[in-house]
Amino acid sequence: MGENIREEKDNPAVNNVGEAVSEKKLIEAVQNGDKRAFGQLIRIHQKRLFRYIYGLLKSFDAAEDIVQEAFVKAYDNIKSFRTEYAFYPWLSTIARNLAYNQINREEKKESLDVLQEKGYDPQSTELGPLENLLNHENNKRFYKAVMSLPVTYRSVFVLRHFEQMDYAQIASYLKIPPGTVDSRLYRARKLLMEHLKDLMSD
């Protein structure tokens, strides 16, 4: 279980019925004590999981540690996992909770009410000029701006634009109402546009 995230190779996510069946067999093998099968699960999911956690945290090393810890916890609790469900949502919930615990230790959250006083407007969710920057995620300015968002807004933005979840999925994942997803996502976009307004003036 000590695979180095930095040296990971690209691996396809489970995305069709055949692969889902194979993953179920891997999980059942792990539940029967096969550690090598768990190594295969790591290789399948670690890139996607790292990308998600890195989107929540501000440190490559911290994200790497969280991902490693999430896999350890998943392994320790794998016998309680029900194989009729998809593995990645369960795994990513473990990692998300670990990440949030770390964030809570490292930063004080700015209250939603205070941020709303700074200009929350629940009307349009249009991205406008920000859409061009979303197509260039390698832009260091853009990514630094995403990392500067309060975690309340950063989490919904990452799930929507990096994980490609819809509003209902985000609401279910974060256990918040869909309307809250909409308002937080709007605020995240607004803050990003304020940070990057010079890049969108052309």
Question: Are 126 and 189 in the same domain?
Answer: yes
Question: Are 46 and 119 in the same domain?
Answer: no
- What stretch of H or E contains 14? none
Q: What are the counts of helices (DSSP H) followed by strands (DSSP E) for the chain?
A: 10, 0
pLDDT digits (tens, 9 = 90+) for 12-27: 444 444 455 588 899 9
Question: Are 90 and 20 in the same domain?
Answer: yes
Question: Are 125 and 95 in the same domain?
Answer: no
Question: Are 98 and 119 in the same domain?
Answer: no
Q: Are 26 and 72 in contact (CB under 8 A)?
A: no
> Which of 47, 81, 106 represents a domain boundary (last residue)?
106
Q: What is the CATH number of the domain that holds 193?
A: 1.10.10.10
- Domain encompassing residue 62: 5-106
End-to-end CA distance of the chain: 48
Question: Are 101 and 34 in the same domain?
Answer: yes
> Which of 106, 122, 149 represents a domain boundary (last residue)?
106
Q: Average pLDDT, stretch 19-37?
A: 85
Q: How far is CA 160 from the centre of its chain?
A: 9
> Which of 73, 106, 139 represents a domain boundary (last residue)?
106
Residue 67: left if φ>0, alpha if ψ -120 to 50, beta else—which one? alpha
Question: Are 191 and 140 in the same domain?
Answer: yes
Q: What is the CATH number of the domain that holds 47?
A: 1.10.1740.10
Residue 175: left if φ>0, alpha if ψ -120 to 50, beta else—which one? left
pLDDT digits (tens, 9 = 90+) for 129-164: 454 555 444 466 777 888 888 888 999 988 888 787
The total of structural domains in the chain comes to 2
Question: Are 78 and 32 in the same domain?
Answer: yes
pLDDT digits (tens, 9 = 90+) for 71-111: 999 999 999 998 888 899 999 999 988 888 877 666 444 44
